[in-house]
Amino acid sequence: MAMTATIALSTATSYINQVVNCSLTVSNSSGSTVSMTSITPTVKATGDGLGAPAGLGLVPLSTGFSTSVAASGSTVFTFSVVLFSPSATTYDVGAQCLSSDGSSFAPTATTLTVLPLPLPASEL
């Protein structure tokens, strides 16, 4: 069964401490419905294997939310990311996905550029 995912961000550039909304589209090319068992958001400094100083929202996979992906269909899951410091200027935002058919997959990460907060006019 072929499960794939893509990710899109509400903005490609943000300031530190700014919420960025993420849309993860999970697609199922098989002939049967597949349930998602886990989606773990990830943020890493671009080109680095280390995590980033970030707050990551949880992906709702519980009662009242759609947790399945229909046969030959797709489902969009949302979460938020907040970067707490621009120790690097760009970050790769992605997710690790697991489904009930045993698939483990991830979208190609999307780049988020993070800027320091601008100085107030009184400090310029």
pLDDT value, residue 89: 86
- The structural domains of the chain, ordered by start, are 3-105 (2.60.40.10)
The DSSP annotation for 47-69 comes to T-SSB-SEEEPPP--STTS--EE
Predicted TM-score (pTM) of the model is 0.86
Phi–psi pair at 46, nearest 5 degrees: -55, 130
Tell the burial category of 65 from Cβ atoms under 10 Å away from its Cβ (0-12, 13-18, 19+). Answer: exposed
Q: Which residues contact residue 32 at a Cβ distance below 8 angstroms, ignoring those fewer than 6 apart?
A: 1, 71
Residue with tokens 């280390």: 50
Write the CA distances from 15 to 11, 27, 37, 75, 112, integer angstroms.
11, 31, 32, 29, 10
Distance CA 91, CA 31 (A): 36
- pLDDT averaged over every residue in the chain: 88
Element (H, E) at 38: strand 34-45
Per-residue model confidence as pLDDT tens digits over 22-71: 999 999 999 999 999 999 999 998 877 777 788 888 887 755 555 889 99
Provide mean pLDDT across the span 1-24. 94
Query: What six digits make up the tokens of 36?
Result: 């998602």
